[in-house]
């Protein structure tokens, strides 16, 4: 698909003239339209040899997390149990404890012989996530977890109750290599890929908490039938840069209990910065997950700066891949758009976005603008309400279903990845004294 003619882009000339490496930080007001250019404050974006924002696709080599039942196929589970000197059918019993009762506690596994329980659990269900911190909203309907992995790496997940559904926002990598300047996770780069079981364990731990009545927001005596119904890969990391482990985790999520978690693929959202070859692969998997593209700008000029991977795959290529996902799967795709004051929230950008989406067809996409969660001390702020409303209105008027996403959990952390950042800062200052 070719680039749309620029006739509708009324971007003021002054906005495009910020010199490389020395972005204008103030507002540039020309034709009544302010344009703030992306810039970082309080931290320096890592650059590659050519001076472009560093992109890390490969996971740095670190000690691998222990192999866990959730990393293995059913056959591999049986083989591993046999390796431990026990009959293969124990694998299914363990899977039932883990995927149906959400437990890794040998004490509760009374159907297993007492003398081998500890050994079996140590070999098949090693501890993967240690809870470091937990933050809750006043109503208790949103809970943010900070987890420590076996090698000290930190990741987050956020559990949210909505009417009729419970959503867990999961991490797929410790850190992230995509270096988006407005995202707290990207600032420290990629620590490592998470294993399949580390991804799954976030859900199992959330389910356990829910079953124990630990998620607020609903009056009921018995929570044992409740569990996470929706997963969004919108925690730390770029899921499509950890493709195999993320897809193995998705397969475990949708496999019927006790082989897996028995979830609906439609309730699982894979969100990406736009790794085009991986989006194409995802479309051919035959698993109808919901696909979300983090676009944040409809023009390459701005998106090159907001989403550094745009230097590899441009707006039109990412949108073509998203459209292909729709064509292959019949699943309507989502466009994520963080509204950032005077940076990407202009009416002309709403129009250009609508035009690019409508060029490809009707009814294939919806847009989810979300007010930016500012990172501390940055120049980035969320758009004013009237600007936000106008942006949404223009898209809806152009026939693109558009719904503003809420910023649940704002009071318990601010931006995604921020809890890890503060904890690392605290650890660093504790180490200095």
**Min separation Cβ 405 and ligand SAH, Å:** 9
**Min separation Cβ 244 and ligand SAH, Å:** 17
The verdict on whether 416 is a catalytic residue reads yes
Cβ proximity to ligand SAH, 257 vs 407, nearer residue:
407
Q: Which of 169, 176, 183, 416 is catalytic?
A: 416
Cβ proximity to ligand SAH, 128 vs 178, nearer residue:
178
Three-state SS for the chain is CCCCCHHHCCCCHHHHHCCCCCCCCCCEECCCCEECCCCCCCCCCCECCCCCECCCCCCCCCCCCCCCHHHCCHHHHHHHHHHCCCCCCHHHHHHHHHHCCCCCCHHHCCCCCHHHHHHHHHHHCCCCCEEEEEEECCCCCEEEEEEECCCCCEEEEEEEEECCEEEEECCCEEECCCCCCCCCHHHHCEEEECCHHHHHHHHHHHHHHHHCCCCCCCCCCCCCCCCCCEEEECCCCCHHHHHHHHHHHHHHHHCCCCCCCCCCHHHEEEEECCCHHHHHHHHCCCCCCEEEEECCCCCHHHHHHHCHHHHCCCHHHHHHHHHHHHHHHCCCEEEEEEEECCCCCCHHHHHHHHHHHHHHCCCCEEEEEEECCCCCCCCCCECCHHHHHHHHHHHHHCCCCECCCCCCCHHHCCCCCHHHHHHHHHHHHHHHC
Contacting residues toward ligand SAH, per CB under 6 A: 178, 182-183, 233-234, 238, 271-273, 294, 336, 338, 370, 372-373, 375, 415-416
**Min separation Cβ 207 and ligand SAH, Å:** 22
**Min separation Cβ 431 and ligand SAH, Å:** 27
Q: Which of 156, 198, 201, 305 is catalytic?
A: 156
Cβ proximity to ligand SAH, 183 vs 206, nearer residue:
183
Cβ proximity to ligand SAH, 183 vs 265, nearer residue:
183
Cβ proximity to ligand SAH, 174 vs 338, nearer residue:
338
The verdict on whether 327 is a catalytic residue reads no
**Min separation Cβ 160 and ligand SAH, Å:** 14
Residues annotated as catalytic (active site), given as ranges: 156, 416
């Amino acid at each position: 698909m070719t680039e749309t003619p620029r006739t509708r882009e009324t971007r003021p000339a002054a906005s495009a003239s910020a010199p490389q490496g020395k972005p204008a930080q103030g507002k540039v007001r020309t034709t009544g339209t302010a344009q703030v250019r992306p810039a970082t404050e309080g931290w320096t974006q890592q650059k590659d040899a050519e001076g472009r924002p560093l992109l890390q696709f490969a996971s740095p080599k670190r000690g691998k997390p222990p192999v866990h039942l959730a990393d293995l196929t059913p056959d591999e589970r049986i083989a591993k149990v046999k390796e431990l000197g026990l009959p293969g059918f124990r694998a299914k019993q363990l899977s039932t404890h883990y995927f149906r009762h959400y437990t890794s506690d040998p004490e509760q596994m009374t159907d297993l012989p007492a003398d081998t329980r500890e050994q079996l659990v140590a070999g098949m269900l090693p501890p993967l996530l240690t809870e470091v911190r937990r933050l809750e909203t006043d109503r208790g309907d949103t809970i943010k977890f900070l987890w420590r992995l076996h090698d000290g790496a930190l990741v987050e997940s956020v559990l949210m109750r909505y009417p009729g559904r419970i959503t867990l926002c999961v991490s797929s990598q410790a850190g992230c290599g995509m270096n988006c300047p407005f995202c707290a996770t990207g600032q420290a780069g990629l620590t490592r890929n998470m294993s399949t079981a580390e991804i799954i364990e976030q859900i199992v731990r959330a389910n356990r908490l829910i079953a124990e009545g630990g998620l607020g927001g609903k009056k009921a005596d018995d929570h044992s039938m409740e569990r996470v119904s929706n997963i969004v890969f919108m925690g730390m990391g770029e899921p499509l840069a950890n493709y195999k482990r993320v897809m193995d985790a998705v397969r475990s999520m949708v496999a019927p209990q006790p082989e897996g978690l028995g979830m609906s693929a439609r309730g699982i959202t894979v969100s990406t910065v736009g790794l085009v070859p991986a989006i194409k692969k995802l479309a051919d998997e035959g698993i109808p997950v919901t696909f979300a593209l983090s676009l944040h700008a409809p023009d390459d000029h701005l998106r090159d700066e907001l989403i550094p991977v745009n230097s590899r795959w441009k707006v039109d290529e990412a949108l073509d891949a998203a459209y292909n996902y729709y064509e292959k799967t019949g699943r309507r795709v989502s466009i994520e758009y963080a509204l950032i004051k005077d940076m990407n929230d202009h009416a002309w950008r709403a129009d250009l976005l609508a035009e690019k989406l409508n060029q490809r067809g009707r009814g294939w996409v919806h847009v989810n603008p979300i007010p930016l969660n500012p990172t501390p001390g940055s120049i980035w702020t969320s758009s004013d309400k009237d600007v936000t409303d106008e942006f949404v209105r223009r898209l809806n008027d152009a026939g693109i279903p558009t719904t503003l996403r809420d910023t649940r959990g704002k009071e318990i952390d601010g931006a995604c990845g921020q809890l890890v950042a503060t904890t690392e800062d605290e650890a660093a200052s504790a180490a200095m004294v």
